[in-house]
Amino acid sequence: MEIAPMLAKAVADVPAPDSVSGGLRYEPKWDGFRGIVTVDGDDVEIGSRGAKPLTRYFPELVEAFRTQFGGREHPVVLDGEVVLRSGPSGNERLDWEALSQRIHPAASRIAKLSAETPAQFVAFDLLSADGTSLVDQPFDERRARLEAMATAFVDPLFVTRTTLDVDLAREWLRTFEGAGLDGVVAKPRTRPYEPGKRTMLKVKHHRTADVVAIGYRVHKSGSGVGSLLVGLYDDDGALRQVGGVSAFSDKRRLALVDELDPVVVRDADGRPVTGDGEKSRFSSGRDTSFVRLEPSVVLEVRYDQMEGDRFRHTVQFERWRPDRDAASCGFDQLEVPSAYDLRKVLS
């Protein structure tokens, strides 16, 4: 059963239950790889939001689904999130960096990591069971069927918690970030599963920080600024790259080249000095070289959360800050959520 995942629309705050006809059910927003899992006998497929299936990257999950769903007469289709947890007992959290390392071309590397850093699957919807498609059923009915099925789940399979209490959902938004989760999702209780449509509502953390422009990549078209690389000063005074800013208009991209020209680092012959950026396993073929900038231009950006010492996602440009001294842009300005044990969320 191939089905596109139902999507979510971003909203500023956790919505009240009466803001949607039929009410809302709230869930934590997991930070991992979205996966629609089909189990048909010994055949297990983990589909993704994109074109690349995830099945080969998580053999430990494939085996868990075979073991826990073996013997069923009809296929089962689950919607959920592939996540990976790390940290000492009592202080576990989601680990995006370790999860991203699981996407690797070498089968030997996948086998090694599946034993060293095994993943988990958190189910949050049931799309087919007992020979019946459930996509046309209201979410509350699908959830009830999922809960009944999940009584037999054992690690690494879990079912997400839910609540009808908007105040508790708002507390989750605040506290669960300390376990590595990145928000709250609100789902209409009476709506069917709508593949590809943004029926759900998601709330994520939004914060601002003043950062230093340390370089730029040329746009893929060959002209203009494609993205700005930004950094922050650590406690030892070292300027460390923390992420990138993109999504400039065509006109703005071209103008930025001229605006940033006075702070381009140049060699003895006056040519721009370039550097090689960090490559990602998701875009290994992409040109990551960049033009270096003197660390003097400050900008304010919007971000949702940190992953270690980097912004978790691409940040959004807010405004230039000519009034700020670049040396004052440090990690100490960032809000650090209180730690929260992931097992309390999974229980």
* CB contact at 8 A, 181 and 29: yes
29 an active-site residue?
yes
> Encoding tokens for residue 216?
């730029």
* CB contact at 8 A, 169 and 185: no
* CB contact at 8 A, 150 and 123: yes
Q: CB-based contacts of 8: which residues, under 8 Å, 6+ apart?
A: 185, 198, 199, 200, 201, 202
Looking at the domain assignment, is residue 246 inside a domain? yes
Higher pLDDT, 104 or 278: 104
Domain identity same for 215 and 179: no
Q: Which residues on adjacent β-strands are paired with residue 40? A: 43
Helix (H, G, I), strand (E, B) or coil at 32: coil
Q: What secondary structure letter does DSSP report for 4? A: P
| Predicted confidence (pLDDT) per residue in 233-248, tens digit | 999 999 999 999 988 8
Backbone angles phi, psi at 336, to 5 degrees: -110, 115
CA–CA distances in Å: residue 123 to residues 146, 151, 215, 342: 8, 12, 41, 16
Helix (H, G, I), strand (E, B) or coil at 209: strand
Helix (H, G, I), strand (E, B) or coil at 144: helix
Looking at the domain assignment, is residue 192 inside a domain? yes
Burial of 301 (0-12, 13-18, 19+ CB in 10 A): buried
Range of the domain at 230: 207-333
Q: From CA 54, how far away is CA 77, in angstroms rounded?
A: 15
> Encoding tokens for residue 336?
């650090």
Which residue type sits at 252?
R
Mean pLDDT, the chain, rounded, equals 92
Domain identity same for 13 and 120: yes
How does residue 286 score in pLDDT terms, banded at 50, 70 and 90? low
Cα 147–7–79 angle (5° rounding)? 30
| Predicted confidence (pLDDT) per residue in 184-230, tens digit | 999 999 999 999 999 999 998 878 899 999 999 999 888 899 999 99
Domain identity same for 212 and 196: no
Q: Give the CATH number for residue 27.
A: 3.30.470.30
How many domains are there within the chain?
2
> Encoding tokens for residue 321?
């800050």
Higher pLDDT, 137 or 97: 137
* Element housing 233 (H / E): strand 225-233
Mean pLDDT, range 293-307, rounded to an integer: 91
215 closest CA partner among 258, 248, 260, 270: 260
26 closest CA partner among 198, 205, 177, 160: 160
Q: From CA 64, how far away is CA 60, in angstroms rounded?
A: 6
Burial of 347 (0-12, 13-18, 19+ CB in 10 A): exposed
Domain identity same for 265 and 192: no
| Predicted confidence (pLDDT) per residue in 320-335, tens digit | 998 789 998 999 888 7
Looking at the domain assignment, is residue 214 inside a domain? yes
- Catalytically annotated residue among 29, 187, 202, 204: 29
Domain identity same for 117 and 26: yes
pTM equals 0.77
8 closest CA partner among 83, 76, 79: 79
Q: Give the CATH number for residue 230.
A: 2.40.50.140
